[in-house]
Amino acid sequence: MKILEERIKKDGVVLEGEVLKVGSFLNHQIDPKLLKAMAEEWHESFKNEKVDKILTIEASGIAMASFAAYEFGVPLLFAKKSKTANIGDDVFSTDVKSYTHGTVNHVQVEKRFLNKGENVLIIDDFLARGEALKGLIDLCNQAGAHVVGCGVSIEKAFQPGGRELREKGYKVESLARIKSMNGQNSIEFC
């Protein structure tokens, strides 16, 4: 997606350890017009599939997934990273390791919101090793829901997550696929 790639080149910041910071427009401060355009792009990719629900994980996925849910005309469900009073006791849960943050989150959704036979499109901001998407797929599997595919904003294609998911047969639509980045002004897209 041209405008996303251009925005990453313009406003993304590459740090050591292959970290790409996009906090000025994607996951801390957010450009709603860009996210709406991304949602339209995912809708275009999955418009021939039956989608009953969008699933994402808090917090960075919520904004873009909200626009996607609006585009598809279906509810959005976001997996919570911790047990809060907002969530009931009857949950599907899974552990998601974050290499970026150096943490493991015990991620959960209420069982009543993820149902057998539902067609679920998973949305998230980043795909690197694929831990978050695999966790969300695991939640769907526990529920007996069908994973229609995954819509990703930025895929680090030099890391194995995207390849692994596609080899397993999942349709993964990444709007920007980074081939390599070795310091600022060195980002190359696939």
Site string for a second copy, 57-86 (x = CB under 8 A): -xxx-xx--xx-xx--xxxxxx-x---xxx
The verdict on whether omega for the bond into residue 59 sits within 30 degrees of 0, i.e. cis, is yes
What angle do the packed helices 32-46 and 60-72 form, to 10 degrees? 50
**Closer to a second copy by Cβ: residue 169 or 183:** 183
Q: Which tokens is 101 given?
A: 């943050």
**Closer to a second copy by Cβ: residue 76 or 165:** 76
Q: Are 37 and 71 in contact (CB under 8 A)?
A: no
Site string for a second copy, 101-140 (x = CB under 8 A): xx------xx-xx---------------------------
State the CB neighbour count (10 A cutoff) for residue 110: 16
- Stretch binding a second copy (CB under 8 A), from 17-25, 134-142, 153-161, 173-181: 17-25
Q: Are 148 and 50 in contact (CB under 8 A)?
A: yes
Distance (Å, whole) CA 132 – CA 98: 8
**Contact positions toward a second copy, by CB under 8 A?**
19, 21, 23-25, 27-33, 35-36, 58-60, 62-63, 66-67, 69-70, 73-78, 80, 84-88, 100-102, 109-110, 112-113
